[in-house]
Structure 1
Amino acid sequence: MTKAEKVQFIIDSLQELYPNPKPALDHKDPYTLLVAVALSAQTTDKKVNEVTPGLFAVADSPSKMAKLSIDHIKELITGIGLNNSKSKNLHLMANQLMDRHQGIVPDNFEDLEALAGVGHKTASVVMAQAFGIPAFPVDTHIHRLMWRWNLSNGKNVEQTERDAKRLFPREIWNDLHLQIIYYGREYSPARGLDIQKDFITRKIGRKSFLKTLIK
């Protein structure tokens, strides 16, 4: 199977499994999405979705968040990992949005990545899911599967993103990155992999990896 054939097999398989992928983080607008994604670092989406209703009931806009104390924000996100730094970042981010962007979430990478607590992955998610601008956020699932599928060398997430953008059509990036994440969670986890269930890896995975699984 050529690399082009592998890519098409992945696209077709994931489209059949997840024809209309939706973001896992609950939100109502670009700002609440930005906050939810910023909170999701080293925390499950499920946990974020448990915390954000209470947070957004109090502060669902930059102006409201900026008026809260850092301690109050920390109380509202109790249970989220790294809540000390995240509460400080949310407070500073809100003030930055008010001071620099009139309370509006910017729709470009440069301004997004200049906000407190916003890295390239977070900015990519917001660009893709809030504004519909093609982006390919790489999380641990995508990084793992791109290596397992022998489509990237696993060196770092930056290289994985470059490889994904090079291999997959730009017009499907926003759906595809969600589809790969959902496949990774359901069929190809980091631990406890059932290679019989993980049919994509079984069919196109790198030989050195498959040899450790298939007896």
Structure 2
Amino acid sequence: MSKFLITLLATSVVAAAPAAADPCAVTTVTFPTYAPVQCYDEENCPPAVVSNPYDEAGFHFQNSAEGGYALVNGSSNPTNSADPTGGVLTNNYGYKTTTVTKVDGGLFDFISVDLADGFNNMNYFPATGFNRQGGDVLFTFTTGSGSTTQTITIDGIPGLQTFTFNMTGLTSVSYLPQTTFNGYIQADNFVVSAATGAVPEPASWAMLIAGFGLTGAAMRRRRTAVAA
């Protein structure tokens, strides 16, 4: 078999191989269309609801509470928003889980997220010794082979706090406020990317295996012919 054909077959194998994900293709979900609105009159305030579920930048956010009002603005009063110049995503019902997936159902890497208490202040009640700020949040990371969990603790300082996870090959990540005030939490700046170890589609595998087989057979015939 000619060198040209062998080269052609080898080229087809390379073409069939799935392209590696670009490690620089990082997306930060910032909820830019979900900015706080200055409003103190609850009866006449514009809607603070974003939707449930909510999609942005190819990612899908779904709260476990029923109805479209489960995901809302952090607060209609910007003084309580952890990102007063931008937007945050907050659960409207306490102690409910928010799950993040890709809109297309693919795998993704979860790098980091910014979190804050739902009220984003340090109000202290001497009678009870209770501080509204801070608390534990339970994260669950799910892959094709199972799930792992990690609990993080928001500190007592107002403002967004960054938590880095660097979890790869996920089908979903979810978070559940456990000990924050009334089970509320503000979330912003989800840093995510396409999975760095994406599994090739069956058709790509079939073409890849066939290409290797044909190339191997061609090289063997060539070696046999030379040896004879």
Higher helix share: 1
Larger Rg: 2
User: Fold-level match, TM-score > 0.5?
Assistant: no
Task: Give the number of the structure whose residues are more often strand, by fraction.
Answer: 2
TM-score interval, smaller chain: under 0.3
Does 1 or 2 have the higher relative contact order (CA < 8 Å, sep 6+)?
A: 2
TM-score by length of 1: 0.25
